[in-house]
Structure 1
């Protein structure tokens, strides 16, 4: 069967295009680089339980929404008058430096000098998750949409014109058992529907495992029956969040960074627990007895989800404060912060007075690559058709390394003029490198015809391809 990729960007985050990985070639997961504190949760209404972060790009403005939930050590956790969760807001012009504006919208402990946009109901502010719906034809009064709720109330829809002033829409949107997480909503251009991904539970050999389900809607009023996501042959794991949305540079692919939760697993010694103040009144009492990190999932529509890589995408790291339950939970939103860079954000030091949001960086399409060492390796794609006249690659080599490309017909026969030997050697580190074959400066004559690509890598990584 021939795949049609048109002029879409195809990052190698899954095995969709890969037919053969020859000797010496591997499909490798990459890991984002830690860039330091993006936002400290240092206000009393934010506190140690700040979490469930969403980041949206609205033109040249980055908008951040998150739960604030300060711990009052003078009161028992469930006492009447203990602080309740609120929804907070921050913004940035570059995705690096963040500002908490004094909005004056909501009162907290007698003052409205804060960055709070919602103070209730609790079921919503605890898990408020927005999206930006800027498609043509969408009412300006509903550019921003959000869902919030829990298993008791169901998920409700909220809308806003400016992302700051929100109105709840009447009626329950989605009912079900679960929702004890950051449930998310997005427009899926492949399925031409709104998709809500939400927490559910699945019975696996008698254990109630935290799972992800989905439902779809054309109008945000009528929703399809819930369906569990299908992770194929991947072993079941507790996925506490989904954090999935269409990838900004390839919106036909859903990329998610769920928080993986490991109940009953512990790494800290009693001495380390004492050093980080694990059992002090200012620290959330629910941190011991579980660990968390971040994994990578992808989907090309429907309920099937690929877990091509089972290892962690973001590890807890060297800081003992992050080896506790519910730390290392990623934000929803992987966004470009330059032509070559993506930024993602992870909550650290959860439940502790030092809680903060960290920025991490990744090269564009840099989630995974086709890779080979110094001895080299080859990869052959499945047969596909394309549109355009130029083949461009996101690639990186060492000074001694290289990438070469051969074009074959659907049966694997080399096309004259497009042999590996004719390909001009590609050396360097570029996100948009044009491929040429001597006098053959383009591939326009091959557009619309079934072809395969044979890549020859030497001490190199190939992150994505695109025809234009």
Structure 2
């Protein structure tokens, strides 16, 4: 069974009097699943890869990057000991950290006792090995992914490790003990990349950031065995429309005091490029959640980066090489207003770790309270507890709907084969109506018994509703035939359809 969504026009012949509407996942700010709480992660927590399921332990696992803060007053002095506002000492730096969950919502940070952290607790006692740091990761992990068909149990988990502008292949039996695979040549890469494993195609997918004429851009490399990779190919970058959208989105943060205003504001330096490009498979297509990076102005010369704001869009592809910008590039995720303990007021980014749970899709997102800090805030330890990993939830198949208004509209599909006995639809039509018509694939004439007049109108909000007709309750007589479907909508939304 393959579901058919309305994200692109791949299976659509004609749309009349309907609008394509993007739906944003609902953020659950109370569902901040991982936040800075230990000395070795008290500044940032971030991840490049979502939760991975370990079937042997029946646990979700995350490897995230924890950043221990450096005392800003010691910058440039060569001081080795760093402090936070309590006076507890600790070594600054980035640490790969381990977290687990039975349900994907409630997460624990088990102390695994493998790394001697040079720091102290708030009561001045040494931390030692009482931490969740994974010492075998030399760099920043991209992934991990689980490779169920790998014959070597010590290589079931795979990842790429970023350091020194390159990605190094690594494998693990448990997500804790990692070994770099020296026989696999590294990929050149900038700081942000993603690794995904497509179980359907048995394909490893790496999306890799480089700078091009278009600014930060993303390249693709794939592998069937994790050892031999295709040459990197440019697949996604910003264009002139993104610059125009970026100006409009960035202006909001200077005009609307509900949102955090960037520290820098140099309109002559405003531009947009792509910061992050996580890819995942959904039904018979690939989806991506590109983070659009809207520059507000460059940092002073000491730090070669930019102050910015971010938004997340939705893109789709049938082959990983050609990408379609969905719903006129409307934002799929946006920064939150200030307040209520929200972490995603300055930066936001999604991962490719989308999980289906019952009637929902769960997204795992990174959020930061700020992209840049005024000097006064930095000197007052304003950089502590500044980012977190959170969840957002979306209706199953709920990325995009076709929406009908106060006048009837319709969508007609291209020819499809009837493979099941019933036609199912995912619809929100409790305020309106959806009628379903089946057409001859060649003449496009309504098939007797399956006409619009025969259709029993659907008026319900359901992710799985069966379409029915007056005298023919199922598709048994059409099974194996090629037909077209025409859905008529009045004040209703249609997300997907399938037969089974």
- TM-score normalised by the chain length of structure 2: 0.79
* Pair 108,137 (structure 1): closer, same or farther in 2 beyond 3 Å: closer
Q: Alpha carbons of 1:78 and 1:58: their partners in 2 closer, same or farther (altered >3 Å)? A: farther
Q: Say if 1:232 and 1:388 are closer, same or farther in 2 by CA, change over 3 A.
A: farther
Paired residues for 1:161-176 under 5 Å: 161-176=173-188
Paired residues for 1:272-421 under 5 Å: 289-309=307-327, 310-319=329-338, 322-324=344-346, 327-336=347-356, 338-348=357-367, 349=369, 352-354=383-385, 355-398=387-430, 400-411=431-442, 412-421=444-453
- Runs (4+) of structure 1 exceeding 6 A deviation are 231-234, 285-288
Distance 1:377 1:173 in 2: 54
1:222 maps onto 2:243 in alignment: no
Give the corresponding residue for 1:66: 64
Asked if 2 retains the 8 angstrom alpha-carbon contact of 1:86 and 1:119, the reply is no
Q: Are the structure 2 counterparts of residues 311 and 118 from structure 1 closer, same or farther at C-alpha, using a change threshold of 3 Å?
A: farther
Question: Is contact 1:371-1:457 (8 Å) kept?
Answer: yes
Secondary structure of 2:218 counterpart: strand
Give the deviation of 1:84 after TM superposition. 2.1
Tell me if the contact between 2:290 and 2:312 (Cα under 8 Å) persists in the aligned partners.
Answer: yes
Distance in structure 2 (CA, Å) of the matches to 1:214 and 1:179:
13
Partner residue of 1:101 out of 94, 101, 110: 110
Pick closer, same or farther for the CA change 1:63–1:231 going to 2, 3 Å: same
Query: Is 1:196 the counterpart of 2:206 in the alignment?
Result: yes
Residue 153 (structure 2) pairs with residue 140 (structure 1): yes
Matched residue SS, 2:453? helix
Any conservation in 1 of the 2:365–2:389 contact (CA below 8 Å)?
yes
Give the direction of change, closer, same or farther, for the CA distance of 1:108–1:331 in structure 2 (3 Å limit): farther
The residue that corresponds to 1:27 in the other structure is 20
Show structure 2 runs of 5+ residues with no match: 81-90, 120-127, 243-271, 372-382
The alignment status of 1:113 with 2:130, answered yes or no, reads yes
Describe the SS at the equivalent of 2:154: helix
Provide structure 1 residue ranges, at least 5 long, that are not aligned to the other structure. 1-6, 267-284
CA contact under 8 A between 1:232 and 1:306: conserved in structure 2? no
Higher relative contact order (CA 8 A, sep 6+): 1
Q: In 1, are the aligned partners of 2:216 and 2:273 still within 8 Å (CA)?
A: yes
| Structure 1 residue 187: Cα displacement | 2.9
Query: Alignment partner of 1:201: what SS?
Result: strand
What is the alpha-carbon distance in structure 2 between the residues aligned to residue 422 and residue 366 of structure 1? 28
User: Match of 1:129?
Assistant: 143
SS in 2 for 1:445: helix
Work out whether residues 62 and 94 of structure 1, in 8 Å CA contact, stay in contact via their aligned partners in 2. yes
Mapped to 2, the partners of 1:373 and 1:239 lie a distance apart of 35
Would you say how many aligned residue pairs link Structure 1 and Structure 2?
Answer: 428
Return closer, same or farther for 1:174/1:288 CA change in 2, 3 Å cut-off: closer
List aligned pairs for 1:423-438, cutoff 5 A. 423-438=455-470
Whole-angstrom CA distance in 2 between matches of 1:181 and 1:120:
16
What secondary structure, in the 3-state scheme, does the structure 1 residue paired with 2:44 have?
coil
Secondary structure of 1:14 counterpart: coil
The answer (yes or no) to whether the contact 1:48–1:350 under 8 Å persists in 2 is no
1:172 to partner: Cα distance: 4.5
Q: Does the C-alpha gap of structure 1 residues 28 and 306 become closer, same or farther in structure 2, counting only changes over 3 Å?
A: same
Query: Equivalents in 1 of 2:425, 2:63: separation in Å?
Result: 35
2: CA distance, partners of 1:386 / 1:174: 46
CA apart distance, 1:289: 2.4
- Residues 108 and 382 of structure 1: is their aligned pair in 2 closer, same or farther, counting only changes over 3 Å? same
Rate the CA distance shift 1:53–1:195 in 2: closer, same or farther, 3 A: closer
2:259 aligned with 1:245: no
Structure 1 distance, partners of 2:59, 2:336, is 30
Residue 57 (structure 1) aligned with residue 35 (structure 2): no
Larger of the two Rg values belongs to structure: 2
Q: Are the equivalent residues in 1 in contact too, given 2:195–2:204 (CA < 8 A)?
A: no
Instruction: Give the Cα–Cα distance (whole angstroms) in 2 for the partners of residues 194 and 13 of structure 1.
Output: 24
Q: Distance in 1 between matches of 2:79 and 2:420?
A: 64
Alpha-carbon distance between aligned partners in 2 of 1:137 and 1:32, rounded to the nearest angstrom = 34
Q: How far has the Cα of 1:319 moved from its partner?
A: 1.9
Within the alignment, does 1:15 sit opposite 2:9 as a pair?
A: yes
Q: Relative to 1, partners in 2 of residues 1:70 and 1:293: Cα closer, same or farther, differing over 3 Å? A: farther
How far 1:385 moved relative to its partner?
2.0
Q: Distance in 1 between matches of 2:477 and 2:93?
A: 64
